[in-house]
Amino acid sequence: MIVSNWKMNGTKADIELWINEVSNKIEYKTEVNCVICPPSCYLDSTRSFITKINSPVQLGSQEIDSTHQGALTGGINGQMLNDFSTEFVLIGHSEQRHYLNEDGVSLRAKLDSAIDSGISVIFCIGEPSEVYSNGDTKNFLTNQLDILNSEDLANITIAYEPIWAIGTGLSAKTTYIEDTHGFIKNHLKKILNNKKVSVVYGGSVKLNNAEEILSSDSVDGLLIGGASLDSETFSKIYNLS
């Protein structure tokens, strides 16, 4: 899985151009999902662009709310996402954990909302710099993972994004990524009774480090932020997978 997270960037015209160019440039593999997560206001347009050219690109949302309906200004629920044939949703990204004060209770509710709606989850976890510096990453990630259960993990991909690497230009060393991904997978095996869960990496992924990161057997894909806005760069990274 190679995911483009647009965050709060781009216009409708930018997304249409990106969809057209990426669809022509990638060497699409059915076993490697190619996903775009545009701003929520462009979900409908993005679905139309994908459908218009029968693109292999799949649609993901950056957000889902835990309530199915009601008085939540600016909310977007699973039914709305299904109207756009949204296939994936990001939950637990560090920016939302920080700015929206999301905790285990609220994230669990979002997970339930997505899974009940039949939308696959990309569940983001990652440690801040102080936890990394203190060597306490694994305990921190364990706490983030422990809201998951065996009933829903079949519908979840884990995205490991060390917070100290997001948007900083600093990417974790390959050996550190391998060790951390291995820990995540082994921890989840205890919950899953040895079923496999994919773990993708994010955190200042660029064209010059993507191939090395993807070369690790423990890395099942990438979640890419700023670098993915350029269709040429994203396509080249996808073709490395």
User: How far are the Cα atoms of 103, 142, 145, 154, 184 from residue 191, in angstroms, in the given order?
Assistant: 21, 12, 10, 11, 11
Q: Where are the alpha helices (DSSP H) in the chain?
A: 12-25, 43-52, 78-83, 94-99, 104-116, 129-133, 137-145, 174-192, 207-214, 231-240
Per the DSSP assignment, residues forming a β-bridge with 35 are 3, 58
CA 66 – CA 96 distance, rounded (Å): 14
Active site residues: 93, 161
Tell which residue, 213, 157, 209, has the closest CA to residue 185: 157
CA 173 – CA 22 distance, rounded (Å): 28
Q: How far apart are the first and last CA of the chain?
A: 8
Amino acid at residue number 71: A
CA 66 – CA 77 distance, rounded (Å): 7
> Is residue 158 a contact partner of residue 141, using CB atoms and an 8 Å limit?
no
